[in-house]
Structure 1
Amino acid sequence: MTAAGFRDPSPRRSLTLFRAFLREQRDPEACYALLARDAADQVEAYGKVAGKVVVDVGGGSGHFTREFRARGATGILFEPDTGELGPRPPAATVVADGYLLPLADGSADVTFSSNVLEHVADRDTFLSELVRVTRPGGLIYVSFTNWFSPWGGHEWAPWHYLGAERAQARYRRRTGKAPKHTLGENLFAHHIGPTLRHVRARDDVSVVSARSRYWPFLTEAVARVPGVREFATWNLLLILRRCPP
């Protein structure tokens, strides 16, 4: 089910995000600020964040954390890669791995993870840690780019459909530099079907919504069709609710 206030996003919103994505290399600040506002709106479809503790796991340079703080939340960024933090990370940023967060059980009202899951080898342990630090009744937001998405290979997409090694070699020939991502090292082939089966089988969370993050219509319907969803969803958004112990 979805939140009472959630509606399928508009084609205009999807087009605006896509145009910002095309300008990411030239204007990353504007791109990620827009994405942060959009993600915060998605979270707040399930309740305002003002006065709540929002834990941003793997949030890079902190755009999401800043947006949640601007909306009145106590936002805390946990990022394992100091190279991703940029020159001005948010105050009180913690360098920590998402597999082992330095937080007590049930510390967060909202645990947020945007486009991190495809960069972790052990999907199940990562998700378990997000669940552990979320209070009973709290919200868990997880989105990721699945492997068969048109952007599954990241900077060497869509050539990943022809194989990772071939796609990475093409990227090196075309750009004269090594790609940022290497399959099996910092990019992993996670799929929607197995991920949905995993979260639905857990007894510590309930699945509130599973849908395409950017698709402009029938967002939940496209994520329900086996096979098709692996290509058409582009990016899966999971909204989970922490169950009481």
Structure 2
Amino acid sequence: MRQTRIFATFRRSWRLLRSFRFEQTRPDIFYGGLAEDTADLVTALGRDYGVGLDGARVLDVGGGPGYFAAAFARRGARYFGLEPDAGEMSAAGIKLANSVRGDGTRLPFADDAFDVVYSSNVAEHIAEPWRMADEMVRVTRPGGLVIVSYTVWLGPFGGHETGLWQHYVGGEFARDRYTRIHGRQPKNVFGSSLFAVSAKEGLRWARAHNAWVFPRYHPRWAWWITRVPGLREFLTSNLVIVVRA
């Protein structure tokens, strides 16, 4: 996986880490940068697996308000977004021609419909993430790519906006503490729109699909973390699973 390893530099990791502080206050900065990084990552993976983006049909499962569309369009892809929440779809005021409201665990598409199907930071927000992953495989053509990237619960960002340590006490504690301090529930409500998804679960699904896994935001020299049980749960902030359909 030479191209993906070349892409995974410390400089990139540092840039992404610095952008996390804008997720809630300036989502255009955070998600705009994340969209470009995601498109670059998928491009690198495509080169390693022989799946080019130019002219490819790309499905973004849980695409939200559409920050990722322009990034993929600039690389020649035919972008399609799927999002279950109508409010989320319109949150940024981005208008998309190929945006569908639907459920990731029951994708409203035919078998083998896309060349690349990916989800970025979605699995931790649904109760049945591996059902969604199975659906992603179903709608990907033979030889295409399925890419599942999700936030590991025990990693430093598992609690999302509720804090860096509070979720280690418990998801309910982090949720309720945030509500007391801010006078409102967090955007990501534990037990409803945020769930404790482990690295172990992802690796189990990956083994069943002969997938390649690596920590998304780490430089390549730190990828060994995913091979160490226990440690990987705390140090893998985001796990990427890549399946050749």
- The verdict on a shared fold, with TM-score over 0.5 as the criterion, is yes
Aligned residues: 236
Determine the structure 1 residue equivalent to 2:166.
159
Higher helix share: 2
Mapped contact 1:120–1:187 kept (Cα < 8 A): yes
Q: Could you tell me how far apart the structure 1 residues matched to 2:191 and 2:177 are?
A: 18
Determine the structure 1 residue equivalent to 2:200.
193
Residue 166 (structure 1) shift: 1.7
Alignment of 1:171-186 (within 5 A): 171-186=178-193
Q: Residue 110 in 1 paired to residue 116 in 2?
A: yes
The worse-fitting range, judged by mean Cα deviation, of 53-62 and 213-222 is 213-222
Q: Could you tell me how far apart the structure 1 residues matched to 2:20 and 2:14 are?
A: 10
SS of aligned partner of 1:172: helix
Residue 23 (structure 1) shift: 2.1
Mapped contact 1:150–1:231 kept (Cα < 8 A): yes
Alignment of 1:55-204 (within 5 A): 55-85=59-89, 86=91, 87-157=93-163, 158-202=165-209
TM-score, normalised on structure 1?
0.91
Task: Write out per-residue CA displacement over residues 217-242 of structure 1, whole angstroms, 9 at most, x where no aligned residue.
Answer: 43431111110000101110111111
Residue 16 (structure 1) shift: 1.1
The one-letter code of the counterpart of 2:79 is G
The one-letter code of the counterpart of 1:235 is N
Determine the structure 2 residue equivalent to 1:221.
224
Q: Residue 233 in 1 paired to residue 236 in 2?
A: yes
5+ long unaligned stretches in structure 1: none
The CA RMSD over aligned residues, in Å, is 1.4
Q: Could you tell me how far apart the structure 2 residues matched to 1:144 and 1:77 are?
A: 17
5+ long unaligned stretches in structure 2: none
Determine the structure 2 residue equivalent to 1:35.
34
Task: Write out per-residue CA displacement over residues 59-79 of structure 1, whole angstroms, 9 at most, x where no aligned residue.
Answer: 101112221112111100011
Q: Could you tell me how far apart the structure 2 residues matched to 1:97 and 1:130 are?
A: 11
Mapped contact 1:213–1:219 kept (Cα < 8 A): no
Runs of 4+ more than 4 Å apart? none
SS of aligned partner of 1:148: coil
TM-score, normalised on structure 2?
0.91
SS of aligned partner of 1:7: helix
Q: Could you tell me how far apart the structure 1 residues matched to 2:25 and 2:132 are?
A: 32
SS of aligned partner of 2:116: strand
